[in-house]
Amino acid sequence: MIIHLKKNIKEPEAKKIAKLTESIIYKKNNFFILITPSKLKEPPVEFKNKIADYFTMENDMQLSSKNYSKKTREINFKNFSIGGNSNKTLLITGPCSVESIDQITKSAEFVKELNLTTLRAGCYKPRTSPYSFQGLGLEGLKILSKIKKKYNLNIISEVRDASHVDEVIEHVDIIQIGAKAMYDHGILKKCGKQNKPVLLKRGFGSNLKEFIQAAEFILSGGNENVMLCERGIRTFETYTRFTLDLCGVSYIKEYTNLPIILDTSHAMGYSYGVPDLTRACVAMGIDGLLIESHPNPKIAKSDAAQQLDFNEFKNMFNSLKPIAKAVGKDII
Ligand code: PEP
Ligand code: MN
Residue-wise pLDDT tens for the chain (332 aa)?
A: 999 999 999 999 999 999 999 999 999 999 999 999 999 999 999 999 999 999 999 999 999 999 999 999 999 998 899 999 999 999 999 999 999 999 999 999 999 999 999 999 999 999 999 999 999 999 999 999 999 999 999 999 999 999 999 999 999 999 999 999 999 999 999 999 999 999 999 999 999 999 999 999 999 999 999 999 999 999 999 999 999 999 999 999 999 999 999 999 999 999 999 999 999 999 999 999 999 999 999 999 999 999 999 999 999 999 999 999 999 999 99
CATH code where residue 266 lies: 3.20.20.70
Is 62 among the domain residues? no
Q: Residue 125's pLDDT is what?
A: 95
Q: Residue 28's pLDDT is what?
A: 95
Tell how far the Cα of 151 is from the centroid of ligand 2, in angstroms.
23
Domain extent, residue 33, equals 2-55
Q: What does the angle CA 18 – CA 163 – CA 257 come to, to the nearest 5 degrees?
A: 50
Is 64 among the domain residues? no
Q: At what angle do helices 101-113 and 138-151 cross, to 10 degrees?
A: 30
Do 161 and 306 fall into the same domain?
A: yes
Do 48 and 93 fall into the same domain?
A: no
Do 302 and 221 fall into the same domain?
A: yes
Do 8 and 93 fall into the same domain?
A: no
Q: Which residues line ligand 1 (CB under 6 A)?
A: 96, 122, 126, 178-180, 201, 231, 266
Do 172 and 300 fall into the same domain?
A: yes
Tell how far the Cα of 1 is from the centroid of ligand 2, in angstroms.
38
Q: Residue 116's pLDDT is what?
A: 98
Do 194 and 134 fall into the same domain?
A: yes
- The structure's pTM equals 0.97
Do 47 and 84 fall into the same domain?
A: no
Do 303 and 209 fall into the same domain?
A: yes
The domain total for the chain is: 2
Do 121 and 202 fall into the same domain?
A: yes
Do 99 and 30 fall into the same domain?
A: no
Nearest CA to ligand 1 atom 3: 96
Q: Residue 265's pLDDT is what?
A: 98
CATH code where residue 39 lies: 3.30.70
Q: Residue 264's pLDDT is what?
A: 98
Q: What does the angle CA 162 – CA 287 – CA 63 come to, to the nearest 5 degrees?
A: 60
Do 41 and 152 fall into the same domain?
A: no
Is 67 among the domain residues? no
The distance from CA 91 to its chain's CA centroid, rounded to whole angstroms, is 13
Is 225 among the domain residues? yes
Do 186 and 224 fall into the same domain?
A: yes
The distance from CA 70 to its chain's CA centroid, rounded to whole angstroms, is 19
